[in-house]
Structure 1
Amino acid sequence: MQAWLCTTPTGVDALQWTELPTPEPGAGEVLVEIKAASLNFPDLLIVQGKYQIKPPLPFVPGSEFAGVVRAVGAGVRQLQVGQHVACLSGTGGFGTHVIAPAAACVPLPADFPLVDAAAFIMTYATSHHALIDRAQLAAGETVLVLGAAGGVGTAAIQIAKAAGARVIAAASSDEKCALCASLGADATINYGAADLREALKAATGGKGPDVVYDPVGGALAEPAFRSIAWRGRYLVVGFAAGPIPALPWNLALLKGASLVGVFWGDFARREPQANAAMMATLLEWYRQGKIKPVIDCTMELSQLPTAYARMGSRAVMGKLVLTR
Structure 2
Amino acid sequence: MKKIVLPRYEKNIIRAVRSLRVEACELPELNKNEVLIQVHAAPCNPSDIAFLTGEYNIVKPLPAVPGFEGSGVVIDAGEGAEDLIDSKVSFFIQEEDCGSWSEYVVSDRKKLVVLDNAMDMDQAACFAINPFTARGLLDIALLRENRAIIQNAAGGQVAAFIRQMASDMEIEVIDIVRKERTVERLQNEGARYVLLESDPQFEEKLEKLAKKLDARLAFDAVGGELAGKIFNAMPADAELVAYGGLSTKPISGIHSMDLIFKDKIISGFNLPEWREQMEDDYFEQISQEMQSLFISGEYQTKIQGSTSFEKISDGLIHCLRNLSKGKMLIKAFDKE
TM-score range, shorter chain: 0.7 to 0.9
Scaled by the length of structure 1, the TM-score of the pair is 0.87
For each residue in 1:196-223, what CA deviation from the matched residue of structure 2 results, as whole angstroms up to 9, or x when unmatched? 2133245456565221111011221122
Return 5+ residue gaps in structure 2 as ranges. Answer: 11-15
Work out whether residues 232 and 255 of structure 2, in 8 Å CA contact, stay in contact via their aligned partners in 1: no
Distance in 2 between residues matched to 1:51 and 1:201, nearest whole Å: 31
- Matched with 1:265 is 272
Work out whether residues 36 and 118 of structure 1, in 8 Å CA contact, stay in contact via their aligned partners in 2: yes
Question: 1:228 is matched with which residue: 216, 224, 234?
Answer: 234
- Matched with 1:19 is 24
- Matched with 2:89 is 85
Work out whether residues 43 and 329 of structure 2, in 8 Å CA contact, stay in contact via their aligned partners in 1: yes
Are the structure 2 counterparts of residues 225 and 107 from structure 1 closer, same or farther at C-alpha, using a change threshold of 3 Å? same
Are the structure 2 counterparts of residues 306 and 221 from structure 1 closer, same or farther at C-alpha, using a change threshold of 3 Å? farther
Q: Which moved more, 1:43-52 or 1:299-308?
A: 299-308
Report how many aligned residue pairs link the two structures. 320
- Matched with 2:330 is 322
Work out whether residues 176 and 196 of structure 2, in 8 Å CA contact, stay in contact via their aligned partners in 1: yes
Are the structure 2 counterparts of residues 75 and 46 from structure 1 closer, same or farther at C-alpha, using a change threshold of 3 Å? same
Are the structure 2 counterparts of residues 132 and 292 from structure 1 closer, same or farther at C-alpha, using a change threshold of 3 Å? same
User: Shift of the alpha carbon at 1:151?
Assistant: 2.5
Question: 1:169 is matched with which residue: 168, 171, 175?
Answer: 175
- Matched with 1:76 is 81
- Matched with 2:13 is none
Which amino acid counterpart does residue 305 of structure 1 have in structure 2? S
Distance in 2 between residues matched to 1:24 and 1:229, nearest whole Å: 54
RMSD: 2.7
Q: Which moved more, 1:52-61 or 1:306-315?
A: 306-315
- Matched with 2:44 is 39
Distance in 2 between residues matched to 1:314 and 1:216, nearest whole Å: 20
Distance in 2 between residues matched to 1:262 and 1:105, nearest whole Å: 20
Distance in 2 between residues matched to 1:169 and 1:3, nearest whole Å: 38
SS across alignment from 2:279:
helix
Matched, 1:101 2:108: yes
Are the structure 2 counterparts of residues 190 and 240 from structure 1 closer, same or farther at C-alpha, using a change threshold of 3 Å? same
Which amino acid counterpart does residue 7 of structure 1 have in structure 2? P
User: Shift of the alpha carbon at 1:232?
Assistant: 1.8
Matched, 1:62 2:67: yes
Which amino acid counterpart does residue 294 of structure 1 have in structure 2? T
Work out whether residues 28 and 102 of structure 1, in 8 Å CA contact, stay in contact via their aligned partners in 2: yes
User: Shift of the alpha carbon at 1:317?
Assistant: 5.6
For each residue in 1:146-190, what CA deviation from the matched residue of structure 2 results, as whole angstroms up to 9, or x when unmatched? 001113222222222222201111112233234434555322122
Distance in 2 between residues matched to 1:153 and 1:176, nearest whole Å: 12
Matched, 1:196 2:199: no
Matched, 1:5 2:10: no
Are the structure 2 counterparts of residues 198 and 41 from structure 1 closer, same or farther at C-alpha, using a change threshold of 3 Å? same
User: Shift of the alpha carbon at 1:290?
Assistant: 9.1
User: Shift of the alpha carbon at 1:145?
Assistant: 1.3
For each residue in 1:101-155, what CA deviation from the matched residue of structure 2 results, as whole angstroms up to 9, or x when unmatched? 222111100011111111122112222222213772536x111110011132222
Return 5+ residue gaps in structure 1 as ranges. Answer: none
Q: Which moved more, 1:64-73 or 1:179-188?
A: 179-188
Distance in 2 between residues matched to 1:65 and 1:218, nearest whole Å: 30
User: Shift of the alpha carbon at 1:24?
Assistant: 4.1
Distance in 2 between residues matched to 1:311 and 1:191, nearest whole Å: 24
Q: Which moved more, 1:176-185 or 1:162-171?
A: 176-185
Distance in 2 between residues matched to 1:150 and 1:40, nearest whole Å: 10
Are the structure 2 counterparts of residues 103 and 78 from structure 1 closer, same or farther at C-alpha, using a change threshold of 3 Å? farther
Which amino acid counterpart does residue 125 of structure 2 have in structure 1? A
For each residue in 1:63-105, what CA deviation from the matched residue of structure 2 results, as whole angstroms up to 9, or x when unmatched? 000011121122214412x221000012421122212222211
Question: 2:312 is matched with which residue: 291, 304, 307?
Answer: 304
State the identity %: 19
Scaled by the length of structure 2, the TM-score of the pair is 0.84
SS across alignment from 1:121:
coil
